[in-house]
Amino acid sequence: MSRRVVLAYSGGLDTSVAIRWMIEQWSVEVVALAVDVGQAEDWDQLRRRALAAGAKEVEVVDAKEVFANQFCARALLANALYEGRYPLVSALSRPVIVEALVAAARRHGADAVAHGCTGKGNDQVRFEVSARALAPDLEVLAPSRVWKMSRADAIAYAAKWNIPVTALPDKPYSIDENLWGRAIEAGILEDPWVAPPEEVFTLTQRRDLPAAELVVGFEAGLPVSIDARSVSLAEAVAEMNAFAGRFGWGRIDMVENRRVGIKSREVYEAPGALALIAAHQDLEGLCLEREQAHYKRLLEARWAEAVYDGMWHSPLREALDAFMIEANRNVTGEVRLRVEPGAGCFVVGRRSPKGLYDPGLATYGPSGDTFDQSLAEGFVRIFGQQIASWAARQGGPKLGSELSLRS
Ligand code: ARG
């Protein structure tokens, strides 16, 4: 068994219990590594908790910059939404945490890394696939996959060892949070019919405020300004969290398909990420050529699935990113976003010096028309030729009145 282990430490129940449990069961020395990816966290309390659990050392690594500018930025270029809805909050942070974990293992001369993920989720896949890609010589330990403790058992174990944790038996949510948003699972949320209680939300709160607008400026697909003030991506997300979140907008409640074949009920809130994706997607509507835009939608779904599945550190993700970056070269311009009580956050305008919208081609007005409609006749005839041949030779289509939805 390994002597020194660097554990990806979140400060939560499972990883706190994991420190003590690994020491007791495996007689290892544990270095707790916390990675700051923009979560709201009391770092002093986290340090005290890790030490109380028995960690030899606690380290906090600030990965906010690389997480925002290399991970979240790529997710935005790809408009990444797993199963069309989930902006990959947790999935995006795992590979950056593993990069920090491996670096720390080297610094501390460790022979293993560890994570607190259970055997039921996606996060174990993400940790281990990335760890093997980055450091094939390091062993990967997963204590919560073998200890056979329920959440209640883990709470009792923490109490027995005087590890101060915040998960109370009556509010046993598992929460993962970073710059890109929050993921809330477990407790009563495990019943997909039960509506999420207000108490699980922190970024989104329905309040009765007057409608408001702002303008997000993009350069090559990434936000660079809000109302003409320069912002970093991290600042843009934080401002959009506040802008859209205070109208209660940005919640997702879904049953999702995990990589390991389990359906799970997930609640998320990511107003900033969702608002930026909506704005970015809209600007692409203006700036991307039709075929490229349509093909990008297919690759976006593949990008989201690959990253969800733990394939951040893969040649597929790298190659897809090359496409996303190239496709975003001319996605430069401004998007007007509006928030309204009850209606949430939505795009109400866009403009771009690189836009492909041509008023002369589009207009139905009385003047300025540059489109020769007589050319359309031949185009439409040739476009529909295959259908005309099919209809003439093979009996043609059924009428609506002849269709049935039952097999
Ligand atoms: N289901 C999401 C995912 O697989 C979120 C997992 C978040 N983890 C948590 N401890 N709440 O990406």
The answer to whether 361 and 375 are in contact (CB under 8 A) is no
pLDDT along the chain (407 residues), means of 10: 88 94 97 97 96 97 98 98 98 98 98 96 98 98 94 91 76 89 94 96 92 97 98 98 95 98 98 98 98 98 98 98 98 97 94 96 91 95 97 95 93
Ligand 1 and 122: CB distance under 6 A: yes
Ligand 1 and 174: CB distance under 6 A: yes
> Ligand 1 mean position to 270 CA, how many Å?
13
Point out the ligand 1 atom lying closest to the alpha carbon of residue 12.
10
Global pTM value: 0.95
Point out the ligand 1 atom lying closest to the alpha carbon of residue 259.
4
Cα distances (Å, whole numbers) of residue 67 to 64, 170, 334: 5, 33, 24
Closest residue by Cα to atom 2, ligand 1, is 90
> Residue 325 and residue 298: Cα distance in Å, rounded?
15
Ligand 1 and 183: CB distance under 6 A: yes
- Please confirm, yes or no, whether 123 is among the known catalytic residues: yes
174-178: strand order across its sheet? 174-178, 181-185, 263-269, 251-257
Point out the ligand 1 atom lying closest to the alpha carbon of residue 268.
5
Amino acid identity for residue 350 in this structure: R
- Please confirm, yes or no, whether 145 is among the known catalytic residues: no
- Please confirm, yes or no, whether 94 is among the known catalytic residues: yes
Catalytic residue among 16, 74, 93, 123: 123
Closest residue by Cα to atom 6, ligand 1, is 90
Ligand 1 and 266: CB distance under 6 A: yes
The answer to whether 283 and 216 are in contact (CB under 8 A) is no
> Ligand 1 mean position to 174 CA, how many Å?
8
